Amino acid sequence: MNQSSKQFSRIVGTGGYLPEKILTNADLEQMVDTSDAWIRERTGIEQRHIAADDQTTSDLAEQAARQALDMANLAPEDLQLIVVATTTPDKIFPSTACLLQQRLGNHGAPAFDVQAVCSGFIYALSVADQFIRAGMVRNALVVGAETLSRIIDWSDRNTCVLFGDGAGAVVLEVGEEPGVINTHIHADGQYENLLHVPSGVSKKPITDSISERSMHMRGSEVFKVAVNTLSQVATETLARNGVAPEELDWLVPHQANKRIIDATARKLKMKPEQVVLTVNRHANTSAASVPLALNEAVRDGRIQPGQLILMEAFGGGFTWGSALVRY
Ligand code: COA
């Protein structure tokens, strides 16, 4: 470990992948008692992507990872760390990170999953950033990948209109300047019953009961905690890093609900054009949403080198967090 000269992580590649199949609000009108107008007004969502029956989370992750590696000009075999944030792993084990490593043809780098539901990417980025700062590795692949559609009860209008599938990735490399300036991650486990899937492994093994293997959510209660918590973490991030709101160039938020995103942007006094919004087209892709949004704004040229980005997320657990990044 090198303690004398400080080292940081920098984002040197981004990637994203969305499955081909699109499910529109009009399609959902045929499936449950809902309307395009209700979904747009309450959430800002117009459509979502859904993985094909034979597509797994690691399939989505591989596509996003290869794009990020290409942009970083890094060969997969030279990766030193692979972290995948997911709530919808291919299997109970091996981890999706190990399955991704197998696909990429990397041998020997540590590879593991991080489970923090919709905050998973921020958690994974924080973990990988610490590995690089500590001098343990010189680069890392961080992926958020989900097939949320597999844990949705498609007859439950309270949840099925909100989620989609996808994957996003970044490659981090060591640098002398940040890069990732700071990450702030938190959890409060007391909220288990507001947002959860009842079945799993040791408590209630996965059964054929759709209700038990699908997401349950008390939406309006989750909404209130999310708005308050994201406002707090935005304030904390600015204060702890001595950054004024007007110094931020971009907000890259978790894409759960446009009204939650608007509330955070208002708190930060950011203009709508400084907010990277994908929720209308992607819906909530959980751990994939932040890296997918980042990748989109990097690739279309909105985010430019040197700009200051605040990423934030909130999810089941509850978990929440932020990353302040100089791109
Ligand atoms: N279509 C039509 N009506 C629906 C509906 C749907 N898809 N889903 C719920 N409703 C109904 C409810 O049954 C309720 O009807 P009632 O008043 O007759 O009981 C009514 O709409 C209002 O429900 P409410 O839950 O108060 O609406 P809301 O304004 O809070 O919006 C959410 C609902 C789910 C969109 C919103 O609460 C939300 O986004 N919550 C956070 C979800 C989230 O982000 N989860 C993931 C965190 S990472």
What's the whole-model pTM score?
Answer: 0.97
Q: How many domains does the chain have?
A: 2
Q: Are 162 and 19 in the same domain?
A: yes
161 lines ligand 1 (CB under 6 A): yes
Instruction: Based on DSSP, count helices (H) and strands (E) in the chain, helices before strands.
Output: 10, 13
Q: Are 235 and 313 in the same domain?
A: yes
**Residue 3, domain member (yes or no):** no
- The CATH number of residue 40's host domain is 3.40.47.10
Q: Are 211 and 304 in the same domain?
A: yes
Last residue of a domain, one of 130, 161, 177: 177
Are 139 and 96 a contacting pair, CB within 8 Å?
Answer: no
Q: Are 23 and 165 in the same domain?
A: yes
How far is CA 18 from its chain centroid? Answer: 13
- Catalytic entry in 25, 139, 257, 284: 284
DSSP-derived 3-state class of residue 308: strand
**Residue 1, domain member (yes or no):** no
Q: Are 110 and 170 in the same domain?
A: yes
Q: Are 198 and 141 in the same domain?
A: no
Nearest CA to ligand 1 atom 3: 34
Hey, which bits of 54-126 come out as E strands? 82-85, 111-114
How many of the other CB atoms lie within 10 Å of CB of 31?
A: 13
Q: Are 199 and 283 in the same domain?
A: yes
Last residue of a domain, one of 177, 204, 226: 177
Q: Are 108 and 19 in the same domain?
A: yes
Last residue of a domain, one of 155, 177, 199: 177
158 lines ligand 1 (CB under 6 A): yes
Q: Are 225 and 238 in the same domain?
A: yes
Q: Up-side HSE of residue 273: CA atoms within 13 Å toward CB?
A: 1
Question: Domain span at residue 224?
Answer: 181-326
Those residues with Cβ within 8 angstroms of residue 324's Cβ, 6 or more apart along the chain or in another chain: 180, 181, 182, 183, 237, 241, 243, 308, 309, 310
**Residue 313, domain member (yes or no):** yes
CA of 164 to the centre of ligand 1 (A): 17
Burial of 218 (0-12, 13-18, 19+ CB in 10 A): middle
**Residue 314, domain member (yes or no):** yes
Q: What is the pLDDT tens value at each position of the chain, 327 positions in all?
A: 444 579 999 999 999 999 999 999 999 999 999 999 999 999 999 999 999 999 999 999 999 999 999 999 999 999 999 999 999 999 999 999 999 999 999 999 999 999 999 999 999 999 999 999 999 999 999 999 999 999 999 999 999 999 999 999 999 999 999 999 999 999 999 999 999 999 999 988 888 889 999 999 999 999 999 999 999 999 999 999 999 999 999 999 999 999 999 999 999 999 999 999 999 999 999 999 999 999 999 999 999 999 999 999 999 999 999 999 999
Q: Residues 19, 24, 28, CA angle at the centre, nearest 5°?
A: 115
The label of the residue with tokens 């747009």 reads 40
Q: Are 229 and 316 in the same domain?
A: yes
Name the β-bridge partners of 163: 284
The label of the residue with tokens 């279309």 reads 300
119 lines ligand 1 (CB under 6 A): no
Known catalytic residue at 254: yes
**Residue 99, domain member (yes or no):** yes
Nearest CA to ligand 1 atom 26: 220
**Residue 63, domain member (yes or no):** yes
**Residue 44, domain member (yes or no):** yes
**Residue 2, domain member (yes or no):** no
Are 256 and 118 a contacting pair, CB within 8 Å?
Answer: yes
Q: Are 98 and 133 in the same domain?
A: yes
Q: Are 146 and 83 in the same domain?
A: yes
Those residues with Cβ within 8 angstroms of residue 224's Cβ, 6 or more apart along the chain or in another chain: none
Please state whether the peptide bond connecting residue 94 to the residue before it is cis, i.e. omega within 30 degrees of 0: yes
